[in-house]
């Protein structure tokens, strides 16, 4: 069986001052949910655009279901549902009208699944696009990518603009797609949603694919931000001396630090005092990149 996505030494350059991606070797197997992670400017969007032949690679190759992204781009797009990171919709057209338009293009006669998705995502299909908020436009974009049940979904920052309840429903739909044996490839910088639905993740930084690994392995590398609030001032030195503690700070009743390991030791030490509050937060993906790969990875989206 062909891989859902395969790239070899995939490179796209924009000149001397701006590099898109370089030597990206990637394999996505059918039926998995693959998270493509990186901060803005890392190369996520460039990779997706090359996969779909919206951009031509400078060198290297990309294949989708064994088909060449350049020579067989029409056949590839027929098997893909795509949500771009930035997409434009006809202002005067309603969601219903747009879905009917795409249904004719794709030869889909039954819009039952589209309406089911609209109900689950609480999307308004009757109002013109110009009257919809960013979040509601995002819902329409998701529906147009998914309504024809393609074997591969390629979604660029799919939850941008969605409220938390709709995000939850979207993630449940992604799980259902995987259960049906279809493939999802989505870019994101939101670590929490990736952790919950992705089988594997690829981490791209400054245009280079720096790691591909199972989701759990990536999550295990993540540190945590800890803040302890006590009823009265405590001696901070024992906390600072705990294993895995970095970036320590205190202002009397509050103790904060970055913890890489040893939560049990922290809890046992804190229990010797009157603890008012404990915050234990996952870092942002940006912070993980800064810790494990160095540099900021900031810049314009590529």
CA distance 20 to 114: 35
CATH number of the domain encompassing residue 268: 3.30.70.1560
Instruction: Establish if 104 belongs to a structural domain.
Output: yes
- What pLDDT is recorded for position 296? 44
111: in domain: yes
Residue 285 confidence (pLDDT): 61
232 and 214, same structural domain?
Answer: no
In a domain, 183, yes or no: yes
Digit-coded pLDDT (tens) for 155-198: 998 988 889 999 999 999 999 999 999 999 998 877 778 888 99
300 found inside a domain: no
297 has a pLDDT exceeding 50? no
pLDDT grade, residue 299 (50/70/90)? very low
Host domain of residue 60: 5-220
Chain segment 201-236, per-residue pLDDT in tens: 998 888 999 889 898 877 777 788 999 999 999 999
pLDDT of residue 281: 87
pLDDT at 286 over 90: no
Per the structure, the count of domains in the chain is 2
On whether both 185 and 265 belong to a single domain, the answer is no
Examine the domain organization and report whether 172 and 94 are in the same domain.
yes
- Tokens 């895995």: give the residue: 244
Please indicate, yes or no, whether residues 80 and 144 belong to a single structural domain of this protein: yes
Give the whole-number percent of the chain exceeding pLDDT 70. Answer: 93
Q: What pLDDT was estimated at residue 28?
A: 97
Write down the residue that tokens 């032949």 correspond to: 53
With a pLDDT cut of 90, the percent of the chain lying above it is 63
Residues 50 and 66 in one domain: yes
Average pLDDT of the residues of the chain = 88
- The alpha carbon of residue 79 and the mean position of all alpha carbons in its chain are separated, in whole angstroms, by 21
Q: Is residue 43 part of a domain?
A: yes
Q: Which of 191, 220, 249 is the last residue of a domain?
A: 220
Q: Is the pLDDT of residue 9 over 60?
A: yes
295 pLDDT higher than 60: no
Within 10 angstroms of residue 285's Cβ, the number of other Cβ atoms is 21
Query: Is residue 146 domain-shared with residue 267, that is, in the same domain?
Result: no
What pLDDT is stored for residue 298 in this prediction? 44
In-domain check, residue 299? no
> What is the pLDDT, as a whole number, of residue 293?
60
List pLDDT tens digits, range 118-145.
999 999 999 888 888 888 889 999 999 9
Same domain, 142 and 120: yes
pLDDT for the residue numbered 104 = 92
Residue 132: its pLDDT value, please?
Answer: 85
């Amino acid at each position: 069986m062909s891989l859902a996505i395969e790239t070899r030494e995939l490179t796209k350059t924009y000149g001397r001052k701006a590099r898109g991606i370089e030597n990206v070797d990637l394999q996505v197997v059918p039926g998995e949910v693959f998270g493509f992670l990186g901060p803005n400017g890392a190369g996520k969007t460039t990779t997706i655009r090359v996969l779909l032949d919206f951009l031509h690679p400078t060198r290297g190759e990309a294949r989708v279901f064994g088909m060449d992204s350049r020579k067989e781009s029409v056949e590839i797009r027929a098997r893909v549902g795509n949500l771009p990171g930035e997409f434009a919709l006809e202002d005067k057209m309603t969601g219903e009208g747009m879905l009917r338009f795409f249904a004719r293009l794709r030869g889909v006669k039954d819009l039952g699944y589209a309406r089911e998705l609209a109900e689950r995502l609480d999307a308004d299909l009757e109002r013109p696009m110009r009257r919809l908020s960013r979040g509601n436009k995002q819902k329409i974009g998701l529906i147009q990518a998914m309504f024809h049940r393609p074997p591969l979904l390629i979604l660029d920052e799919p939850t941008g603009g969605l409220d938390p309840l709709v995000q939850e429903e979207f993630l449940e739909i992604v799980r259902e797609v995987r259960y049906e044996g279809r493939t999802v490839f989505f870019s994101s910088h939101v670590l929490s949603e990736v952790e919950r639905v992705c089988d594997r993740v690829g981490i791209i930084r400054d245009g280079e694919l720096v790691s591909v690994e199972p989701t759990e392995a990536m999550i295990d590398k993540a540190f945590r931000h800890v803040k302890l609030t006590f009823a009265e001032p405590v001696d901070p030195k024992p906390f600072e001396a705990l294993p895995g503690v970095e970036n320590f700070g205190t202002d009397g009743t509050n103790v904060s630090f970055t913890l890489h390991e040893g939560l049990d030791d922290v809890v046992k030490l804190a229990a010797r005092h009157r603890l008012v509050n404990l915050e234990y937060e996952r870092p942002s993906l940006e912070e993980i990149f800064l810790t494990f790969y160095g540099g900021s990875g900031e810049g314009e989206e590529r």
